Amino acid sequence: MLTQQSTRRLGFLALAATMAVTRFGQCASASSLPDASWAVFFIAGVYFAADWRWALPALLAQAIGIDFAAIHYYGFSDYCATAAYWFIVPAYSLLWLGGAWFSRAYQTLSRDLGRLALSFMLSVSGCFLLTEGSFYWLNDRIVHASISGWWFNVTSWYGYFMLATAGYVALAVLGHLAATRRLPARASANAMSVARFRS
Residues 103-153 pLDDT 10s? 998 888 778 889 999 999 999 999 999 999 999 998 877 878 899 999 999
Residue 42 has a pLDDT of: 98
Instruction: Note whether 46 and 99 are within 8 A (CB).
Output: yes
Question: Whose CA is closest to 85, among 149, 33, 122, 136?
Answer: 136
Q: Where are the domains of the chain?
A: 4-198
Residue 185 has a pLDDT of: 45
Integer Cα distance of 193 and 160 in angstroms: 50
Residue 30: CB atoms within 10 A of its CB come to 5
The pTM (predicted TM-score) of the whole model is 0.85
Integer Cα distance of 55 and 103 in angstroms: 16
Q: Would the pLDDT of 51 be above 80?
A: yes
Q: At 119, which amino acid appears?
A: S
